[in-house]
Homo-oligomer: A and B are copies of this chain.
Amino acid sequence: MTLSITSNYSQAPTVADATVAKRPAWVAPTRAWVAAHQKQIVGELVDLLAIPNVAADKENIRRNANHLVEILRARGFVPELLETAGNPLVFGELKVAGAQRTLLFYSHYDGQPVSPAAWKQPSPFVPVLRTGNADATDPRGLAQYDPESRIYARSASDDKAPIIALCAALDALKSSSILPSSNIKIILDGEEEASSPSLVPAIGKYRDKLTADLMVILDGPQHISGRPTIAYGARGLAEVDITVFGPKAGVHSGNYGNWIPNPAQRLAALLASMKDDDGRVLVSGFNDGIAGLTPDEERMVDAVPENAAAMLTAFGVAAPEQAYPKLQRALIYPTLNVRGMTSAFVGAGARTIIPDSATAAIDIRLVKETPAAAMIEKLRAHVRMQGYHLVDAAPDAATRAKYSKIARLVAMEDSINAFRTSPSDPQTRALADSIRQAIGEPVLLRTLGGTVPIAPFIAALGFPAVLVPTVNFDNNQHEENENLRLGNLFEGIVTIAAILRM
């Protein structure tokens, strides 16, 4: 679903004159350089977008990787391809005299699969420019772009724009002979949309290259307010299918109704036992270990500008769940979400039977205090507490004869734990301060509600990480007609420059 909320991009960032006067010296020349080099920046992005980048398309993936090596080399990086069992990681290192730290930037160069017929342009890999309702045009060659113009192409926002923005930020600083304040490492993932299977294994071979003081993840959409955004974490994800078994096969609902137990009814009762009407999870220990927010955290969370009424209207929902009526507070806790449910048939195909089974597909969004394995075990314990005998496969006759209530829980193997970095960490604090001074008060998100496949990589590396998303929130991420608002590209360069100068 595309959120149809209007963001006031033109008003953000709001900068009082008094504040502008205090901007660091590098800001004005950087903005001037960006304004003067829009043609070059857009051209470089369009060249990169023109190389198809679905993770399974090995030939084009390597063309992307080789192209990126050259882009990095042009900025003075020592680039290389880190080979893996899957797609290559593109790595580059740029040492800076007098560096105060080492930053590891992460982006990904693969994109979601495409259904070209669903796009409003001939190919998702032939980028087009659209401004308002005007016809699509060739995006190359303009000296100046309307910041409201958008480039439409797969990965325009997710996640090639940040790579070009980082390069442009380096170019801009260099043009004014301003050095970054950190050594720069960059790693570009070629399998993020395929869950990044090669990242953690790469640590075994390349740990020294990957070591840094702070990882900066350039991915995802900026806060809807249009302000610079820093996210200090992301929730994890565990997925569990729960099946309640009924009779061996569907039985006649007339002949046996009121006598043979109904597995759909039982699944309903089981799900109802897991959550109260306000949305509070009732599984024992589900929220264990989650302390309340510190006063600082409370201030940070409550400072996130959020138009709840507009979001609810956009979703067509009158009221949020009452357990956590504020969205940012809701994100403190893990979720238990029924993402799908099935039993026999409804509609034209419905038959008057007691079904043979009923299944709910559940996803659990994890927080740092609630790792996947423990949560799945708590869910299993809850189901047992409701009187169920748990099986690992379809129950055999002996099991059916012995246990009245039989259920199966299947946990998906690719669960991802949450990560969360402290906003008080000296490196993250320096990053936020630099953005604040250069641009204005950023939106500070204690955690994203969603999940990033990079989380296990962060955990394995063991140093702090933050996400700095820069692209427009309404970029149609993962969908057809993915796009990038050019104002976000240009402003993102300044945001990244602030990180380089932190």
Chain A positions within 8 Å of B, measured between CB atoms, are: 1, 234-235, 237, 239, 241, 246-262, 264-265, 267-273, 275, 277, 279, 312-313, 315-321, 323-324, 327, 330-331, 333, 335, 337-347, 350-355, 358-361, 363, 365, 395, 397, 400-404, 448-451
* B contact residues around A327 at 8 Å (CB): 256, 259
Q: Is the Cβ of A341 less than 8 Å from the Cβ of B338? A: no
Q: Is the interface of A mostly helix, strand, loop or mixed?
A: mixed
* B contact residues around A312 at 8 Å (CB): 401
Q: Is the Cβ of B343 less than 8 Å from the Cβ of A341? A: yes
Q: Is the Cβ of B339 less than 8 Å from the Cβ of A252? A: no
Minimum Cβ distance to chain B for residue A36 (Å): 37
Q: Is the Cβ of B355 less than 8 Å from the Cβ of A339? A: yes
Q: Is the Cβ of A1 less than 8 Å from the Cβ of B359? A: no
Of B338, B339, B352, B402, the residue contacting A363 (CB under 8 A) is B352
Q: Is the Cβ of A237 less than 8 Å from the Cβ of B352? A: yes
A316, A330, A335, A344 pick with most chain B CB within 10 angstroms: A316
Minimum Cβ distance to chain B for residue A244 (Å): 11
* B contact residues around A448 at 8 Å (CB): 254-255
With A and B bound together, what is the CA distance between A468 and B90 in angstroms?
80
Minimum Cβ distance to chain B for residue A333 (Å): 6
Q: Is the Cβ of B321 less than 8 Å from the Cβ of A249? A: no
With A and B bound together, what is the CA distance between A30 and B270 in angstroms?
59
Of B250, B272, B321, B450, the residue contacting A268 (CB under 8 A) is B272
Minimum Cβ distance to chain B for residue A258 (Å): 4
- Would A251 and B315 be within 8 Å (CB), given that A339-B344, A339-B355 are in contact? yes
Q: Is the Cβ of B346 less than 8 Å from the Cβ of A253? A: no
- Would A341 and B341 be within 8 Å (CB), given that A346-B359, A404-B319 are in contact? yes
Q: Is the Cβ of A253 less than 8 Å from the Cβ of B339? A: yes
Q: Is the Cβ of B275 less than 8 Å from the Cβ of A335? A: no
Of B247, B344, B449, the residue contacting A252 (CB under 8 A) is B449
Q: Is the Cβ of B264 less than 8 Å from the Cβ of A279? A: no
With A and B bound together, what is the CA distance between A395 and B363 in angstroms?
27
Of B275, B320, B451, the residue contacting A259 (CB under 8 A) is B320
Q: Is the Cβ of A335 less than 8 Å from the Cβ of B269? A: no
Minimum Cβ distance to chain B for residue A270 (Å): 8
Of B260, B333, B340, B355, the residue contacting A344 (CB under 8 A) is B340
Q: Is the Cβ of A323 less than 8 Å from the Cβ of B251? A: no
Q: Is the Cβ of A258 less than 8 Å from the Cβ of B319? A: no
Q: Is the Cβ of A350 less than 8 Å from the Cβ of B361? A: yes
Q: Is the Cβ of A340 less than 8 Å from the Cβ of B350? A: yes
Q: Is the Cβ of B337 less than 8 Å from the Cβ of A354? A: yes
* B contact residues around A330 at 8 Å (CB): 257-259
* B contact residues around A353 at 8 Å (CB): 339
Q: Is the Cβ of A254 less than 8 Å from the Cβ of B449? A: yes
Q: Is the Cβ of B260 less than 8 Å from the Cβ of A315? A: yes
Minimum Cβ distance to chain B for residue A308 (Å): 9
Of B235, B272, B316, B400, the residue contacting A318 (CB under 8 A) is B400
Minimum Cβ distance to chain B for residue A301 (Å): 13
* B contact residues around A270 at 8 Å (CB): 268
Q: Is the Cβ of B344 less than 8 Å from the Cβ of A341? A: yes
Q: Is the Cβ of A257 less than 8 Å from the Cβ of B335? A: yes
26 CB < 8 A contacts A-B: A1-B250, A241-B346, A248-B315, A252-B450, A254-B335, A254-B448, A255-B450, A257-B330, A257-B363, A257-B365, A258-B321, A258-B324, A258-B331, A258-B333, A261-B321, A264-B339, A265-B275, A265-B279, A268-B269, A269-B272, A271-B272, A337-B352, A338-B343, A339-B350, A341-B342, A352-B363
Known: A269-B271, A316-B400, A346-B359. 5 other contacts (CB 8 A): A241-B350, A247-B317, A248-B315, A339-B344, A339-B352
Minimum Cβ distance to chain B for residue A348 (Å): 10
Minimum Cβ distance to chain B for residue A262 (Å): 6
Minimum Cβ distance to chain B for residue A336 (Å): 8
Of B234, B316, B318, B340, the residue contacting A264 (CB under 8 A) is B340
Minimum Cβ distance to chain B for residue A404 (Å): 4
With A and B bound together, what is the CA distance between A401 and B309 in angstroms?
10
With A and B bound together, what is the CA distance between A352 and B336 in angstroms?
11
* B contact residues around A262 at 8 Å (CB): 279, 337-338
With A and B bound together, what is the CA distance between A256 and B397 in angstroms?
42
Q: Is the Cβ of A316 less than 8 Å from the Cβ of B1? A: no
